[in-house]
Amino acid sequence: MRKTLKWLAGIILLVGIAAGAYFWATGMIDSNFAYRSQIKDTPPAPGEMLGEASSSRLVFVLIDALRYDTSLKSDVMPTLNQLRLQGASALMHSQPPSFSEPGYTTLLTGAWPEINDGPVFNLDYEEIPSFTQDNLFSAAHRAGFKTAVSGYYWFEKLIPQSVVDLRFYTAGEDAAADREVVDAALPWLKNNEAQLVLIHIDQVDYAGHHEGGPQSPNWDTAAKRADDLLAEILATLDLQRDTIVVLSDHGQIDAGGHGGQDPVALLEPFVIAGEGVNPGEYADIQMVDVAPTLAALLGTNIPASAQGSVQREMLSLSESVRAALPIAVQSQQTALLTAYMDALDINKSKFEIPDSSTVSDYQNIINSLRNKRVFSERIGRAIPVALLLAMVITLLIRQRKSGSLSGVVGGLVFAFLFDLRYAFIDKKAYSLSSITSQMDLILYVGVTSAVLLIFIWLVTSITQKTFCLTPGEAGIKTLSLGLSIVFIISLPVWLSFYLNGAVVTWTLPDYFTSYMALIGLIQVLIVSGVTPILAGLTALVSRIRHKSI
């Protein structure tokens, strides 16, 4: 009777753990897709125009996924590198997640993904929301400029179409689609029909995803074609009057892919040339600096939610803009800080708002407020995590004479062999960038986990002579083995829970530990689901063996 209860308790516990892992993993993913900014419903109001534009026209060329190192290859991208010599250039840094939709939103709003209210993970076309925060196109439209967009059809949903005068969108992503995009934009440029033009070239990203990744010759071939298109665009411009900016929204890992915290996916080229630009090679900039800098060049208001700084040293700004900038920055940053405090329900009377025109003074306060709240939430989560770990470790120690340590060793071997295959044999990154699809990730982790569990079960059963025990004892020992392995492989899950919470709520997680937790939850799901089957098989083998003796 006692063994039967242990059997039932073990199976019920494992099934419950498997169900919990499933709902937790899907909840983590869904909460990223559903994330919205703290200031979604209370965006800061746009400020006044800065003054006279320093350029008659700004052409914004976004070469999707172009890596910084690729952009430096003069044999692959001669036009871009010649432009770099003529104009101002810098290495640009972004923040995870390094997907395209958050990248586009950051470039055009000047705010990081946590604030800008764009999608955090790429959404399907039908689900993409329009910008709720002020952006470069809205600012230009208010200033009376005609605007134009030619590119991938996600921009049709992201940018409010009421502020786009000329448009061409395509669902294509390859070289043929880029040809259509540039063909649509060239007449606008030749006829000077718009003062702010966004041209999105997508084939480099396509080559990374579908043609072998950045280490494939197809990558450089796509970059060369993109550079040729850039040359066609440049041929329609007069850089004595016009300005062109060329940049990227993210990079890609060597295997192809992006979305995670990988350094190579968070470095992008920034090149600006033409009227109003002071040529030179400049210190690194942040992606959030782009929108404020281009707004200053055009003389519009700084996008109201911008977290970046105007790169004044790069620009030869009009006198009216130079005079207006200090007060405009102070006003814009004060409004953003106030909106953020209100969203977090913080008593503003306890804080002194800076009397400053330095963006970092305000952003440091925003980061401090965020970190303070995150820390307090972590303290609250640390207690249950510590109690759970202490309880399980105590139980394992008390059961050491029953072979619990062999289960711990099995868990460590499981983790080692999984990482051996994942990182060293298959050379996958511990990052969202390595996910080609959700199903591929589930199958990869699931099949690997099942094979490893069966291997460890066989080795342990043979070395521990589990099959020599009675069927009841043999099955219970296998259940204990599975639970011990679950404990070991769930440790990254509990670390992520402590750092990030169970799911994404008001702030974005650390994407490395969050990804490790996602893998851990899939492993836990498989091990918990397969272990009862192995326990039954162990009992069956034991019964057959005893009958044959």
- Using one digit for the tens of pLDDT, what is the confidence trace for 111-131? 999 999 999 999 999 999 999
DSSP letters for 186-202: HHHHHTT--SEEEEEE-
Return the closest-CA partner of residue 24 out of 519, 506, 527: 519
Q: Give the ranges where 72-216 is alpha helix by DSSP (H).
A: 78-86, 100-109, 113-116, 136-142, 154-158, 175-190, 203-210
Q: Confirm if 248 and 62 have CB atoms less than 8 A apart.
A: yes
What whole-number distance in Å separates Cα of residue 545 and Cα of residue 481? 21
pLDDT in tens, the chain (549 residues): 677 787 888 899 999 999 999 999 999 999 999 999 999 999 999 999 999 999 999 999 999 999 999 999 999 999 999 999 999 999 999 999 999 999 999 999 999 999 999 999 999 999 999 999 999 999 999 999 999 999 999 999 999 999 999 999 999 999 999 999 999 999 999 999 999 999 999 999 999 999 999 999 999 999 999 999 999 999 999 999 999 999 999 999 999 999 999 999 999 999 999 999 999 999 999 999 999 999 999 999 999 999 999 999 999 999 999 999 999 999 999 999 999 999 999 988 778 888 888 999 999 999 999 999 999 999 999 999 999 999 988 888 887 766 667 888 999 999 999 999 999 999 999 999 999 988 999 999 999 999 999 999 999 999 988 888 888 888 889 999 999 999 999 999 999 999 999 999 999 999 999 999 999 999 999 999 999 999 999 988 888 877 776
What whole-number distance in Å separates Cα of residue 111 and Cα of residue 460? 53
Residue 469 is predicted with a pLDDT of: 87
pTM score: 0.95
Structure tokens at 361: 């003074």
Domains of the chain: 2-36+378-548 (no CATH), 57-343 (3.40.720.10)
What whole-number distance in Å separates Cα of residue 447 and Cα of residue 428? 16
Angle between helices 511-548 and 491-500 (to 10 degrees): 150
The pair phi, psi for residue 364, each rounded to 5°, is -65, -35
Q: In 3-state terms, what secondary structure has residue 4? A: helix
Q: Tell me the β-bridge partners of 91.
A: 269
Q: What is the pLDDT of residues 26-46, one digit of tens each?
A: 999 999 999 999 999 999 999
